[in-house]
Amino acid sequence: MLSSLRARLLFLLCALMVIVGVLAVVIGQKSMQLYFEEQTQLKNRSIAMYVTQEYKLFADTINNGHIINILARQAMIINPIAEVYLLNPQGTVISHPFPANTLQTDQVDLKPIQEFLDGSTNFPLRSTDPKQPGSDVIFSASEVIQDAQLKGYFYVVLNASGSSSLFTPLSHIGKISLLSLSIVFILSLVAGGLIIRRLSARLESLSNTMCNFSHQELMPEEPTACDKKTVTGDEIDKLSAIFSGMAERIREQIQLLTESDQRRRELVSNISHDLRTPLVSVQGYLETLVLKNHSLSQEQRLAYLLTAEKGARRLSQLISDLFELSKLEAFDGQIKKEIFSLTELIYDTAQECQPEADKKSIQLVIKCPTNNIQANADISLIQRVFENLIGNAIQHTPRHGQITITLAPPTNQSIRITIDDTGPGINDEDLPFVFERYYQSPSQSGEFTSSTGLGLAIVKQALALHQSEIQVCNKAHSGAQFTFHLLSQ
């Protein structure tokens, strides 16, 4: 029944209002009682003195019941609810106008009477009610003096019926007070209910949003309600903004995970395909040699072996490139930078690639303004960059072509390196994709199908670790040109 926050808050508000109302009534009643007693005692404080001055109480008449009855009637004229008693100096009741066995005690506490006579205490001041010893009452008192000696006290109880008489003169006021409290209670309950409804409506909206978020498909393309501006509202606004920000970050992480999973699937698919092709070729030619070993000529046997050897070599290169690219993509530490001679590294790499270039009579040309251009980078990664770029250029450059490697003089601590060839260039529609793994142009001739399609992806990843970006374009006449920058010393 009280499962919702709104119902619980309304219940707590009602309970709180009831408690506050009861406390207000109790405190109000107590305050009115004290005020009534104070005013009654102030107005009747002299009643005992007036009576004792009107009638001289002598020693021979102090125990006279007839005199006490007269005094009682006189006191009741002034205060109808007054009761009179004569006390001796020790506070013992020695005379009263009531029937026998009416009093429950004949001893009255004299300390309040002394304080009343001295005027040293604020009203209301209470003392013993002989008829009800456990219930103190307000009173008036006067000394009985004869021959300059204290003969006793004239003691007048002003409210003999106790606190119950309080409500008789204040019944109308009590009704008005009760009505006023009821109206205040209803208005406060209505106002509190409206406030709770407004606050709980915002919380309910946020709760529904969070509930929907927990059940929905968190696709990357789903919009987010996160507000980037500084939140200046209350705690609910801040909570909503925090949740929106959290939801956006979760979506971003899910998008990254989705992209990573997609790349993983593509990688597994491509690896399976690229490993299967050369492996099937090698396996097929080897099985042919086994099955037809005696029927094959020496020339056929050699051709099959060369084809199997070529497929095994491509398979080895593919596995090596995959391993290298996986290391670069998983790399999350600092690369080992050092200062080295970039000129020497280019000459050494070109010398290693020269045998492949000689097979196609391709000329490797290095243009360097000085023999001592130094760079600050990871030498092993940069060497791999040059190997892949030069190897890619050799593969796509026709026979008797030329590959030129140019180092520009350092400018603003940056070295510009370009590698261009005299090949057919790259189709315009292929330029945005040449650095993607396994990408090969649909128009590429069969001459270049031996490429693993990972060389340029490795180059891009290695340079990205150096905060460098490689660019590619077609030259004006023929061939492609790759450009990137490295930090100098």
Confidence of residue 226 (pLDDT cuts 50, 70, 90): very low
pLDDT in tens, 32-41: 778 888 888 7
Confidence at residue 382, expressed as pLDDT on a 0 to 100 scale: 92
| CB atoms closer than 10 angstroms to residue 283 | 13
Q: What percent of the chain lies above the pLDDT cut of 90?
A: 14
The three-point CA angle 300-301-303 to 5° equals 65
On whether the CB atoms of residues 470 and 436 are closer than 8 A, the answer is no
Confidence of residue 10 (pLDDT cuts 50, 70, 90): confident
> Among 4-13, 45-54, 226-235, where is mean pLDDT lowest?
226-235
Confidence at residue 416, expressed as pLDDT on a 0 to 100 scale: 93
Angle between helices 5-43 and 171-215 (to 10 degrees): 160
Rounded mean pLDDT, 166-182:
64
* Category of 301 on φ-ψ map: left (φ > 0), alpha (ψ -120 to 50) or beta: alpha
Confidence of residue 421 (pLDDT cuts 50, 70, 90): very high
Give the list of residues 6+ apart from residue 116 with CB closer than 8 angstroms, or none. Answer: 45, 125, 127, 139, 140, 141
402/363 Cα distance (integer angstroms): 5
pLDDT in tens, 261-317: 887 777 677 667 667 777 887 888 888 888 887 888 888 888 888 888 888 887 887
| CB atoms closer than 10 angstroms to residue 56 | 9
Instruction: Report residue 174 as tokens.
Output: 């009590």
pLDDT surpasses 80 at 242: no
> Could you give the C-alpha distances from 84 to 51, 98, 136, in angstroms and in order?
10, 9, 15
The three-point CA angle 63-66-67 to 5° equals 70
* Category of 126 on φ-ψ map: left (φ > 0), alpha (ψ -120 to 50) or beta: beta
Greatest pairwise CA separation for the chain in angstroms: 168
Say which amino acid occupies 375.
Answer: A
Q: What is the distance between the terminal CA atoms of the chain, rounded to a whole angstrom?
A: 76
Confidence at residue 59, expressed as pLDDT on a 0 to 100 scale: 45
Entry field: residues in the chain: 489
Say which amino acid occupies 398.
Answer: P
Confidence at residue 404, expressed as pLDDT on a 0 to 100 scale: 94
pLDDT surpasses 90 at 403: yes
Confidence of residue 350 (pLDDT cuts 50, 70, 90): very high
Quick one: the chain helix, strand, coil %, rounded to 5? 55, 15, 30
180/187 Cα distance (integer angstroms): 11
Give the list of residues 6+ apart from residue 429 with CB closer than 8 angstroms, or none. Answer: none
Instruction: Report residue 361 as tokens.
Output: 């009579």
> Could you give the C-alpha distances from 301 to 156, 304, 384, in angstroms and in order?
143, 5, 36
Rounded mean pLDDT, 226-248:
65
Confidence at residue 424, expressed as pLDDT on a 0 to 100 scale: 87
Rounded mean pLDDT, 232-249:
72
Confidence at residue 58, expressed as pLDDT on a 0 to 100 scale: 46
pLDDT in tens, 123-132: 888 888 888 8
pLDDT surpasses 60 at 109: yes
* Higher pLDDT pick, 64 / 379: 379
Confidence at residue 442, expressed as pLDDT on a 0 to 100 scale: 55
> What are the phi and psi torsion angles at 72 (to 5°)?
-65, -40
Rounded mean pLDDT, 381-388:
91
Q: What is the DSSP letter of 260?
A: H
Instruction: Report residue 460 as tokens.
Output: 């891009």
Confidence at residue 446, expressed as pLDDT on a 0 to 100 scale: 45
Confidence of residue 228 (pLDDT cuts 50, 70, 90): very low
Give the list of residues 6+ apart from residue 68 with CB closer than 8 angstroms, or none. Answer: 84, 86, 95, 96, 97
| CB atoms closer than 10 angstroms to residue 84 | 25
pLDDT in tens, 426-438: 888 888 888 876 6
73/185 Cα distance (integer angstroms): 47
Confidence at residue 358, expressed as pLDDT on a 0 to 100 scale: 92
pLDDT in tens, 54-102: 665 544 444 555 666 666 666 666 666 678 888 888 988 888 778 878 8
